[in-house]
Homo-oligomer: A and B are copies of this chain.
Amino acid sequence: MDTNSGTVAVHNAHAADELIDRFFRVRGFSEQIAEPLSPEDCLIQSMDDASPIRWHLAHTTWFFETFLLKRDGEYRPFDECFEYLFNSYYNSVGEQYPRGKRGLISRPGLEETLEYRSHVDQAMRSLVDGHDLTDQERLVLEIGIHHEQQHQELMLTDLKHALSCNPLAPVYRDGACEDLDAAVGQSWVDFDPGVVRIGHDGDSFCFDNERPRHRVFLEPFQIADRCVTNREYLEFMEDGGYARPEFWLSLGWATVNEQGWQAPLYWQKDGSRWSQFTLSGRKPIRLDQPVCHVSYFEADAYARWAGCRLATEAEWEHAVCRQLEAPFSASQRGNWSDDLIRSGRCIHPKLSGTESHLNPESRLGEIDRDDAGQPSLADAMGNVWEWTSSHYSAYPGYRAPAGALGEYNGKFMCNVFVLKGGSCATPSGHVRPTYRNFFAPQSRWQFTGIRLARS
């Protein structure tokens, strides 16, 4: 495996056993997500950006079939037409069924799609039982697992958008939405100027776009120790935020007016009270929750209104990494310490346990401080995706892998902005500080929020 040759890097391939175990666990979790849904729920596509649950279930399966199983001469495809039907955007593989029409494909239905999954899972079992996986196979398997985890988050966000179109406000999973104690006030964390390194290091898995690790010069900056809350965002709204062009990017102002935006996505005003649509139905706004489902335009306008700005990607990543290495006690690291990333704020327990975790949460209690008196960054991972001011661009020395998997990331480096940190809907084990998520500045259907910075 030679990263110089342009293939995606897995410097230290996991043992096949661990990988296969993880494969089946992750595959099973996709079906767990779909479990409370009717065949109809799994079919609807509410906008071009979103896809039906049924399509996600099939496409993630297609990934393993196309990039692993079909390379094996003995594999018998479930249905030859699926290569076309469930290809998302891989031009190297061939033509694609039009993205905006995924909701029109009633067959295969949910049941047959689950059979397709089972067919592929069995073939995967035969593959790994049949021979030792090659390095390339292990790499593709690893990518496929992470690919499926990405789609698990999309399943939840796409479903939320789709159900929100129904005036009956359907419930995906019940969940209490108790109001918590007030959030603590916001503090600033300071950073001196200097050359820092960002991007993924070492042998563990990452996507190609997180490499190569490289040097960046940061001028001095401050970053907020927590995200902006609904309470704070409401102040912006009540100060005429959506009606005052001076806070907005030109394209943002045009969007506000074309779309008639008056509040974050899913918010609705009933009399004098705001509520929001959630995966547990319509619920009152909780004032100390982080504001969520805002576009880049709104995040940027809020920051300008507050006399601040958004952090750059490099600032964000450096701030989080410094903290991870800082001498906090475990309890002092806020609720996103290494352990918590691995076990706590993950989606498994949420779905099987307390369903209110389908929403982001607010930081509680006291501010943690390190020895130098600097506060810790709370909720920086696994709560809301945090918009950065950085356009999604290639790192110096980046080269897309050869072949179809080279279409995974590089070709999207245009007119999208980087988001960091992962959200409540991101699966466990799928967040890391170097992760680069990216969406168009008008996107609002992901769990996206705001953390302030300033120079």
Contact = CB atoms under 8 A, between A and B. Distances in A.
B393 A389 contact: yes
Interface in A45-104: 45-46, 54, 79, 81, 84-85, 89, 91-92, 97, 101, 103-104
B43 A40 contact: yes
A249 interface: yes
Contacts of A106: 38, 40-41, 43-44, 162-163, 166, 170
A415 interface: yes
Stoichiometry, copies per complex = 4
A110 interface: yes
Interface string A142-179: 00000000000000000000110111101000000000
A246 interface: yes
Interface stretch (A132-140, A282-290, A325-333, A406-414): A406-414
A130 interface: no
Contacts of A390: 393
Contact of A40 (B91, B107, B221): B107
Contact of A455 (B42, B297, B396, B411): B396
Interface string A102-143: 011111111000000000000000000000000000000000
Given A105-B166, A170-B106, A217-B195, A40 B41 contact: no
A394 interface: yes
A389 B394 contact: yes
A331 to B, nearest CB: 34
A381 to B, nearest CB: 24
Given A166-B105, A411-B248, A396 B441 contact: no
Contact of A391 (B42, B167, B297, B391): B391
A221 B396 contact: yes
A104 B249 contact: no
B215 A249 contact: no
B89 A250 contact: yes
A373 interface: no
Contacts of A166: 104-107
Contacts of A44: 43, 103-106
If over half of A's interface residues share one DSSP class (helix, strand or loop), that class is named, otherwise mixed; here it is loop
Interface residues on A, range: 35 or more
A216 interface: yes
Contacts of A211: none
Contacts of A246: 91-92, 406
Most buried by B among A43, A109, A110, A193: A43
Given A219-B215, A397-B219, A162 B104 contact: yes
B412 A250 contact: yes
Nearest to A395: B219
A170 B54 CA distance: 17
A82 B46 CA distance: 20
Contacts of A85: 167-168
Contact of A41 (B107, B195, B396, B441): B107
A397 B454 CA distance: 8
Interface centre among A79, A246, A296, A406 (most CB of B within 10 A): A246
A251 interface: yes
Given A41-B106, A107-B166, A195-B217, 20 more contacts: A38-B39, A38-B107, A40-B110, A41-B107, A43-B106, A45-B104, A46-B104, A81-B167, A81-B168, A85-B167, A92-B245, A97-B167, A104-B162, A104-B166, A195-B195, A216-B217, A250-B411, A251-B415, A296-B414, A397-B455
19 contacts: A38-B39, A38-B107, A39-B40, A40-B106, A41-B106, A41-B109, A46-B104, A91-B253, A107-B166, A217-B217, A218-B396, A249-B413, A249-B414, A250-B412, A251-B415, A252-B414, A297-B414, A389-B393, A397-B455
Q: Which 10 A-B pairs have the closest CB atoms?
A: A391-B391, A40-B106, A91-B245, A219-B396, A217-B217, A39-B39, A40-B109, A250-B411, A41-B106, A104-B165
